[in-house]
Amino acid sequence: MSVPVFAVVGHPNKGKSSLVATLARDPSVGIGTEPGTTIQTRRFPMRVAGETLYTLVDTPGFQRARSALEWMRQNETDAASRPSVVERFVRLYSGEERFRDECELLQPIVNGAGIIYVVDGAAPYGPEYDAEMEILRWAGRPSMAVINPIGNPRFVDSWENALGQFFKVVRVLDVMMAPFTQQLEVLKAFGQLRDDWRQPLNQAVDALIEDRNRQSDDAASVIAELIAAALSCQEIKDLPKEADARKHTAVLEEKYRGRLRQMERRARREVESIYGHIDVERREAEMEMLETDLLSKESWLAFGLKKRDLVTVGAVGGALVGGVADAALLGTSFLAGTVLGGVVGGALGYFSSDRLADIRILKQPLGGRRLRCGPTRNLQFPFVLLNRSRLHQALVAGRTHAQRGILDVDTINQAAHDLVEPLDDATKRELARQFDRIRRTQAGSERRIRVLDQLTGTLARLLDESLL
Task: Please indicate, yes or no, if residue 323 is contained in any of the structural domains.
Answer: yes
Nearest to 394 by CA among 456, 330, 457, 462: 462
Which phi and psi angles does 282 have, rounded to 5°?
-120, 135
Closest CA to 61 of 34, 79, 87: 34
List of long-range contacts for 447-455, beta carbons under 8 Å, 24+ apart: 448/228, 451/228, 452/224, 452/225, 452/228, 455/224, 455/227, 455/228, 455/431
In a domain, 33, yes or no: yes
- pLDDT, average across residues 189-218: 92
> What's the rounded Cα separation, in Å, for the pair 351 and 314?
7
Spatial contact of 241 and 371, defined as CB atoms under 8 Å apart: no
Domain assignment present for residue 41? The answer is yes
- DSSP letters, 5-45, are EEEEEESTTSSHHHHHHHHHT-TTS---SSTTS--S-EEEE
Amino acid identity of 265? R
CATH number at residue 179: 3.40.50.300
Please tell me the distance from the alpha carbon of residue 137 to that of residue 129, in angstroms, as a whole number.
Answer: 12
Q: What is the mean pLDDT of residues 207-227?
A: 96
Out of 165-174, 235-244, 276-285, the most confident range is 165-174
| CA 461 to chain CA mean position, Å | 16
Query: How far, in whole angstroms, is CA 232 from its chain's centroid?
Result: 28
Of all residues in the chain, what percent carry a pLDDT higher than 70? 79
Same domain, 349 and 391: yes
The pLDDT value given to residue 110: 96
- φ/ψ of residue 150, rounded to 5: -70, 85
CA torsion 373-374-378-381 (nearest 10°) is 100
Q: What is the DSSP string of 395-421?
A: HHHT--TT--S-EEE-TT-HHHHTTSP
Instruction: Show the DSSP H helices in 233-285 as ranges.
Output: 246-274
Strands 359-363 and 369-373, by their bridges, are antiparallel
Q: Nearest to residue 139, comparing CAs of 7, 287, 294, 290?
A: 7
One domain for residues 41 and 179: yes
Query: Which pLDDT belongs to residue 76?
Result: 92
Residue 171 shares a structural domain with residue 317: no
Instruction: Write down the pLDDT at residue 345.
Output: 39
Q: 379: domain range? A: 213-467
Buried b (16+ CB within 10 A) or exposed e, 314-334: bbbbebbeeebbebbeeebee
- R_g of the chain computed on alpha carbons: 30
Task: Looking at the structure, tell me whether residues 158 and 233 fall in a common domain.
Answer: no
Taking the C-alpha atoms of residue 407 and residue 457, their distance in angstroms, rounded to an integer, is 27
pLDDT computed for residue 416 by the predictor: 56
Domain end residue (candidates: 164, 193, 222): 193
Indicate whether 380 and 272 sit together in one domain.
yes
Find the range with the poorest average confidence among 111-125, 152-166, 336-350, 364-378: 336-350
pLDDT for res 187: 92
Closest CA to 271 of 147, 407, 155: 407
Q: What is the DSSP string of 345-371?
A: HHHHHHHT---S--EEEEE-TTSSEEE
Q: What is the mean predicted confidence (pLDDT) over 18-45?
A: 80
Convert the pLDDT of each residue in 54-95 to its tens digit: 999 999 999 999 999 999 999 999 999 999 999 999 999 998
Indicate the average pLDDT of the chain.
Answer: 83
Mean pLDDT across 229-240: 91
Shared domain check, 183 and 307: no
Percent pLDDT > 90 in the chain is 54
Taking CA 405 as the corner, what is the angle to CA 412 and CA 218, rounded to the nearest 5 degrees?
A: 70
Clarify whether residues 430 and 294 are in a common domain. Answer: yes
The tens digit of pLDDT for each residue in 119-164 reads 999 999 988 899 999 999 999 999 999 999 987 888 999 999 999 9
What are the φ/ψ torsions at residue 193 (nearest 5 degrees)? -75, -30
pLDDT at 310 over 90: no
For residue 448, is it within any domain? Answer: yes
